[in-house]
Structure 1
Amino acid sequence: LLQVLLILLWFGAATSKFQGHHPQWEGSERGIGENIVSHSCIHDQIIEQRRLPGRKVYSVTPQFYVHSSTSNNVLHKGRSLLEISEVLEHPKEAKQPIRIYLNYDAVGLSPDRDCRKVGDIVKLGEPPVSSSPGTRSCNPHGDPPIYGDCWYNCTLNDLSGQDKRHRLHKALGQTADWFKRTLAVESVKGNLRLSGYSACGQDGGVQLPRQYVEEGVADADLVLLVTTRPTTGNTLAWAVACERDQWGRAIAGHVNVAPRHLTAEAETLLSATLIHEVMHVLGFDPHAFTHFRDERKRRRSKVTEHIIDERLGRMVTRVVLPRVVMHSRHHYGAFSENFTGLELEDGGGRGTSGSHWEKRLLMNEIMTGSVDTKSVVSKMTLALLEDSGWYQANYSMADHLDWGHNQGTDFLTSPCNLWKGAYHCNTTNLSGCTYNREAEGYCPIVSYNRDLPQWTRYFPQANKGGQSSLADYCTFFVAYSDGSCTDSNSARAPDRMLGEVRGSNSRCMASSLVRTGFVRGSMTQGNGCYQHRCVNYSLEVAVDGIWKVCAKAGGPVQFPGFNGELICPAYHELCSAGPVPVSGQCPNSCNFNGDCVSGKCRCFPGFHGHDCSKRYCPSNCNGHGTCLSNGVCGCENGYTGIDCSTAVCDEQCSLHGGVCDNGVCEFRCSDYAGYTCQNSSILLSSLSVCKNELERELSGQHCAPSEASILQQLEEVVIMPNYHRLFPSVAQKLFTNLFGSSYCESAAKRLACW
């Protein structure tokens, strides 16, 4: 109490802002009980609805970090209320494995959003205020379909019993553990503090427990608030960030998992889905891009570029972050200057557009707009999170992405009807090999009841194209259900007359082979499953136990006892051992400390040398730090960044809701959706507790909710609890008897209101 009183007397008007935002959802329906084979993400739909007037995307709550360059004096001033009064010594490693705390308190507790019994009518999103329960029912099969902002009729599958809750805990626990092994962050010192008016607790979200506001959460860098509310269609889950720290990193998020998908059958798919959705919370979100920081801890000037691509014939959005570009070059073998960034999704509607990788280019990567059991996490996704400036990625946790590997710059910059090999097909009359040669497949070409967009027309008929809108209706071979070459237990037995063998070492290859004395049939050229191995930088294939060495570039080989020939793939298609000659590669791949363009390394800040193998202190730490023996700057108090060039703001900046950019405290109301700059005089009529505070400066401007009801709720939910915490009733009686309480009362109100 004495500490609080001293702060009130000394500073009078320390300030804090608490801001909120609101989750809502839509989806596409399938019949209950139908086997769901993929997850459709609705992340952007949630974000867009939360950006409606009067709503906020996230709150900002500053944290204190172990590895901080802020001076002791500033820390005493800015964080005394949070009982932080000392600075720890800098650890040897600034970033530590991320600690994700899972809170299940809200599971099943919302009477108007959780299904508690069959026949309950609950909200999905925000149905119109004028509608009564059930009058605007969710009907994905209607004309037009209704996916969200509707009333949902609960079924047995929507109830979350003990078995489903056990599956929920297991799945989310595994997700948190995966991210702990994958990402490192600057650890929060002490407890993680969250806002008293967090967006996690509005519009059907999750109300933060009081102790999270007053005491914080121990041993946590991110809190995920979990709910189990129904969704429509094949949307298994959704997640959004709802609170950020002063650097823009997510410190709280809301994760919702639909109970009807908490089944044994969906376990593998749910695992991939949760990784996908938590990625959105962590930063794979266009609304988070504006907060990304560079190595100097300054806001990145450019995360994406929007350009008209003449070859593709449309506007595209590409991520131009340095590590994303670097890892993309190495994956695709795209070392030309013509490749400038990795494309984001432009299809799929608001649910996926802009917040996922372009499926045409990354196909089964986990951050495309749809997720299935074969989805993989690529280095490009981990690079995006590392480029945020908040995380250090463990790239050994990335999976190998087959799609597009070593296909070159043209694969990224050309329309898909110009792609080569198994990446393109144009007739349903012939079968072929899938792009990774793991299966025989067919070419699905669909005739739609409408014309396709101009830039997705690959056939004379404007309504013909591939089966995936997310993949821009590109046509490529898709595996037959029994076409796997790698599955020895496949329902389709290998054709011994053609020399086929199915198993883990078999791959699909073009072939006209047939045993001597037999006729192949109507198709003289087809495909088959044949064994392969990679030996001494050579690809070998086998028929009837006889191994033949293939040419590096691939080509035909013959086998005794067979007529016809087998067409070997190129070495690099099936063998990864040894260097793959790709035009424009750099020495030692620049040690992944720089971008490789046309054979020359462009080193990232802090690295130099022809292969970016050497560390150095940029600008000799700009006179604000010491260059350590390992070539890293140790910054003095008040400065941060890789070169100690970025000044740190007084923490009052972030307590006021501002953002620090190189020592300058910036507050842009436009950063917060639903809030606008308004004169004090306009706000007075909507205020009660804070009315006197604003009357002192009628000409001043404030960032406030556009809707008066939200402003009034702010006073009720945040300001009054803060006031009573700062000036408890016991203290009011004490100071009234001793000194009179008017000054302390005024100071406490001012501190709470601001």
Structure 2
Amino acid sequence: MHCRCAMQCTAIRALLLMRFCVFLLTLCNVANSAYTLCQHDALNLTDVVTRVSVNPRRISTRSSSGDHLRIHIHYDESITVLNDFDYIRNNVVEVAAEFWKKALRLRFPIKSERLLLDRLCVDGLTKLQTMNGNSITFCVNGCRSVTKCGPIQIPAKHLNRCRSVSSGSYALSGEQGEGLSDTDFVLYIAILPTSKCKTSKVLGYASHCQLAAKTDRPVAGYINFCPGALSQKPMDSMRSLFIAKHELLHALGFSNSLFAMYRDPLGRPLTPRDPKTELPALGWSQTGSVYQWSSNVVKTVTRRWLSAYGNQTKEAHIVVTPTVVRVARDFFNCPTLDGVELEDQDERGVFLTHWEKRILENELMTATYTNSYRISPITLAMMEDTGWYLANYSMSHDFSWGRGRGCAFATASCLEYMLEQKKRLHPVTPFCQQMQPPKEHTEQLGVQVSCTPDGVSYGFCNLMVHAKPLAPQYVYFVQTKQAGNWSPVQPLSILELGNGWTDDARPLDYVGGKIALANYCPFFQEIEWERDSGQSTVNTHCHATDNYKSPQVNYKLERFSSTSVCVSHGPNWRLSNGGHMFALPVEGAGCYTFRCSREEGGLVIELEGGLAIPCTIPGNLISVKACLVTPAYTVHGSLICPDCRLLCDPSECPSVSFGLSAYPVIEQFSSPNRTPVTAMFASRPNRHPRFYSSHPTQSPVFGKKPYIERQQILPDQCPQLRSISSPSMTRSSFSLCLRVVICHFLFHLTFFPRDHDCIRW
């Protein structure tokens, strides 16, 4: 008896320590880690050719050209010699390029059979000469011996002859290359150890390097991945793909260095041109490195801005092009919206060249990666408003952040939006108010998580105490008086929203969201950590099949697959063995598959081990009790039923809520050998595609792992007299926890540090 008690105490202590370890890593990660940004490569204008002859032809209607954008990819020798070149080419670069080939096509297709790029001029000195009705650039001091696109040398076979001025005469010299057939845009890819790669925060950078005559459209660009930036690990592959998609779009036109080059649908410049040079006539922008654009493209406006200190004003730089405004008004449900904000944080390569993160949090073209990315119709509208492309809007993802949330969300501070939601008795989603507990409370409280707005992952509210006070305009929370005393900020407390400083409420100057680029507005972020010993990265994304958990440690009975969704938990999810009860390290939500069956009550949530919960009433709390056989732990918990209509076709949802007695609370699948998850839903398509992965097709969860036999997880509680000794609670398991490496959960994929800004235990 004494031995059994000792074993129980040892196992419980091990689990608590493991839970504390995971949370402590997460907490330190939130509080202390620096985060990384996409810093779009700044241009040296002497390294950009602006008048490449491509002879565009006008098309009369949107439907008269069915061609996709033709992108030719050239790989520099620095990348072709790598052992994993085939992987990088086939799974990263080609996949990203294929997406944009399908998403965009030229508004004015080119006539030229072959694309020939121009040579760079010595010192960047050029002279414009009109010949046969065309404006042609000649080099005043001759051509450079080597022409590069960014840091990458362009092969001679891609280059035209050198056009130069010699003794007052115009001359052609050198050999003409064969050019590139069937090409609208050529992308140069390399892995070079440039000076920009010397900082650990930079994984790669990109830009355009040559523009077409008559339209200013980019015809050549590059991406340079820094050495060691790419990896074949599953989660790193997703990051690498994000890098390529994000940076390729910068090169294609989403860049403040090209705003002054944008044109209307008829090909007319939106920014006035100097008749002598045909270049933008407004001089340099405030940053001094790009041409100044007109207010037809981006306008600076003054917004009302509410903080805990009261009403203030704040400058916003907004894209005002017509398609962007039309699409954004519909997206945000704001008929009076005057434009979409660009990032206002004044950092080189970030400022004005990405969407504002507060309003488009996990959109591909925001400057940081925090939750699984999506490509919104607003970004496709931006590319259409360059004047160079027509967009295929069916390629956009079902982007949920901010959708339909009104003008306050799209134009005002997150505080004003949250207060407006409170008045309507609505949740403040997608923002949050919950403080995570300090270290001394982790044993009792654990990490509290919630589903992210897109419903395909879960994370925790990134509200935190900063080391320095925030600027007054970014202070949103207050401390209130209770019985004459200031109320303490309790762990897991819902902080009070401010509305102007009063005698009974003082601003919490040090409290705000983790992410500065989101104007310190707090929101739920996915959690990600990396295990060593060659194991793959783990995160809280429901579609990531590599997040699979073995039955011994699957305390929330989760199922990860390409069709899994996040489901909220009820409070106090616990494990028990005998008379001992203890909490989980992460509580509040989990990932599960589902099926739609009117015969079973509509929506059925499927848990690991062949367990299922019919959800007949939205918002209902349904009890869960199951036995993890090998460690002999009983799982006690509950799920909050999602609305059937959000996941299933309405025809499969009950028109009238059924009584709970009509269906069992928890049941097993009829057969332990069910077909894979993807086949399970083949005849029951989901109503909303956002619950399907937008990434390349992944095998279903059971395509990589053997089916977990029924006896590993059973309904109801475990037998009382079973020993709790198990491999999951051994010292080696705990040591693995201590060896966990967690990099900060804010990952922008372009500059994700591999061995820096991490906490090792």
TM-score bucket (shorter structure): 0.5 to 0.7
Match of 2:298 in 1: 304
Does residue 356 in structure 1 map to residue 324 in structure 2? no
1:100 aligned partner:
71
Q: Which residue in 2 is equivalent to 1:317?
A: 317
How many Å separate the matches in 2 of 1:91 and 1:548? 46
User: Matches of 1:68 and 1:547 in 2, distance apart?
Assistant: 55
Structure 1 residues 609-624: aligned runs within 5 Å: none
Identity of matched residues, %: 25
Task: Write the mapping of 1:560-639 to structure 2, written as runs, cut at 5 A.
Answer: 567-569=640-642
Aligned to 2:615: 548
Alignment of 1:430-579 (within 5 A): 431-435=448-452, 436-459=454-477, 460-481=507-528, 484=540, 486=542, 489-490=548-549, 502-504=559-561, 505=564, 507-512=566-571, 527-529=588-590, 545-551=612-618, 555-557=619-621, 567-569=640-642
2:229 aligned partner: 261
Q: Give the letter for the 2:183 counterpart.
A: A
1:688 aligned partner: none
Instruction: Identify if the C-alpha distance between structure 1 residues 494 and 574 changes in structure 2 by more than 3 Å, giving closer, same or farther.
Output: farther
What CA deviation, in whole Å up to 9, does each residue of 1:371-424 have, x standing for no partner?
479323222212211222211222232223233334343332332244413531
Q: Deviations over 1:502-551 (max 9, x none)?
A: 45545332524889x9999899x973447755667976668974523235
Note if contact 1:548-1:557 (Cα within 8 Å) is conserved in structure 2.
no
Q: Residues 527, 248 of structure 1: CA spacing in aligned structure 2 closer, same or farther, 3 A cutoff?
A: same
Q: Answer yes or no: is 1:162 the counterpart of 2:156.
A: no
For the 8 Å contact 1:193–1:217, the answer to whether it is kept is yes
CA separation of 1:257 and 1:545: change in aligned 2, threshold 3 A: closer
**Match of 1:227?**
190
CA contact (8 A) 2:69 2:104 kept: yes
Distance (Å, rounded) in 2 between the aligned partners of 1:225 and 1:501: 42
Give yes or no for contact 1:41–1:351 (8 Å, CA) kept in 2.
Answer: yes
Deviation of the 1:282 alpha carbon? 0.9
**Cα offset for 1:567?**
4.4
Distance 1:203 1:292, change over 3 A: closer
Q: CA deviation at 1:440?
A: 4.7
Offset of residue 268 of structure 1: 3.0
Between 360-369 and 244-253, report the one with greater CA deviation: 360-369
Report if the CA contact (8 A) 2:328-2:340 is conserved.
Answer: yes
Q: What 5-or-longer segments of structure 1 have no aligned partner?
A: 1-35, 70-89, 109-158, 579-754
Which one-letter code corresponds to 1:527 in the other structure?
Answer: G
The answer to whether 1:424 aligns with 2:418 is: no
Of residues 380, 383, 403 in structure 2, which corresponds to 1:382?
Answer: 380
**Cα gap change, 1:38 to 1:175, in 2 (>3 Å):** farther
Whole-Å separation in 1 of the counterparts to 2:404 and 2:455: 15
The alpha carbon displacement at 1:103 in A equals: 3.2
Helix, strand or coil at the partner of 1:224: strand
Contact 1:541 1:549 (C-alpha < 8 Å) held by counterparts: no
- Quick check: 1:485–1:502 contact (8 Å CA) kept in 2? no
- 2:463 is matched by which residue type in structure 1? I
Question: What SS is found at the alignment partner of 1:309?
Answer: strand
- Shift in Å at residue 431 of structure 1? 1.6
Residues 259-408 of structure 1: pairs in structure 2 closer than 5 A: 259-265=227-233, 266-300=236-270, 302-311=296-305, 313-331=313-331, 334-347=332-345, 349-371=347-369, 374-408=372-406
Contact 1:383 1:393 in 2 (8 A): yes
CA 1:193–1:402: 2 relative to 1, 3 Å: same
Residues 249 and 576 of structure 1, relative CA distance in 2, 3 Å threshold: farther
Cα displacement (A) at 1:276: 0.9
Are residues 211 and 317 of structure 1, via their aligned partners in 2, closer, same or farther at CA, if it must alter by over 3 Å?
Answer: closer
User: Matched residue of 2:95: which SS?
Assistant: helix
Task: Give aligned pairs, total.
Answer: 458
User: How many Å separate the matches in 2 of 1:302 and 1:449?
Assistant: 41
**AA paired with 2:258?**
A
2:135 aligns with none
**In structure 2, distance between residues paired with 1:38 and 1:577:** 43
- The amino acid that maps onto 2:260 is T
Cα deviation 1:555-577 (Å, max 9, x = unaligned): 44566999998644566765687
Q: Which amino acid aligns with 2:181?
A: A
Task: Quote how far apart the aligned CAs of 1:290 are.
Answer: 2.1
**Contact residue 439 and residue 480 of structure 1 kept, 8 A:** no
Contact (CA 8 Å) 1:507, 1:532: kept in 2 or not?
no
Alignment partners' CA distance in 2, 1:290 and 1:461: 42
> Using a 3 Å threshold, how does the CA distance of structure 1 residues 522 and 318 change in structure 2: closer, same or farther?
same
CA gap 1:409/1:564 in 2 versus in 1, 3 angstroms: farther
Please show how residues 180-219 of structure 1 align to structure 2 within 5 Å: 180-185=101-106, 186-189=108-111, 190-197=113-120, 201=148, 204=151, 206=153, 209=156, 212-214=159-161, 215=176, 216-219=179-182
Q: Secondary structure at the match of 2:55?
A: coil
Q: Secondary structure at the match of 2:153?
A: coil
| Residues 483 and 169 (structure 1), Cα distance of their counterparts in 2 relative to 1, 3 Å cut | closer
| Partner-residue secondary structure (3-state), 2:316 | strand
Pairs within 5 Å for 1:742-753: none
Q: How many angstroms apart in 1 are the aligned matches of 2:510 and 2:261?
A: 41
Indicate conservation of the 8 Å contact 1:416/1:474, yes or no.
Answer: yes
Q: CA separation of 1:322/1:502 partners in 2, compared to 1, >3 Å: closer, same or farther?
A: same
Shift of 1:56: 5.9
In structure 2, C-alpha distance between the alignment counterparts of 1:361 and 1:508, rounded to whole Å:
24
How far is 1:433 from its partner? 0.8
Cα pair distance change 1:207/1:421, threshold 3 Å:
closer
In the superposition, the TM-score normalised over structure 2's length comes to: 0.52
Q: Give the secondary structure class of the aligned counterpart of 2:387.
A: coil
Which segments of 5 or more consecutive residues in structure 2 lack a partner in the other structure?
1-32, 125-146, 162-175, 271-294, 307-312, 419-427, 438-446, 478-506, 529-537, 627-635, 652-761
Residue type matched to 1:206 in 2? Q
Contact 1:534 1:540 in 2 (8 A): yes
CA contact (8 A) 2:333 2:403 kept: no
Q: Which whole-Å CA distance do the structure 2 matches of 1:502 and 1:267 have between them?
A: 21
SS of structure 2 residue aligned to 1:240: strand
State the SS of the aligned residue for 2:348.
Answer: helix
Q: Distance in 2 between matches of 1:243 and 1:188?
A: 15
Q: State whether residues 67 and 94 of structure 1, in contact with CA within 8 Å, keep that contact through their aligned partners in structure 2.
A: no
Distance 2:624 2:59 in 1: 72
Q: Is the 8 A contact 2:305 2:473 kept in 1?
A: no
Q: Which residue of 2 aligns with 1:46?
A: 42
- The 8 Å contact of residues 241 and 252 in structure 1, kept in 2 or not, is answered as yes
Whichever residue aligns with residue 99 of structure 1, its letter is R
| Corresponding residue to 1:62 among 47, 53, 60 | 53
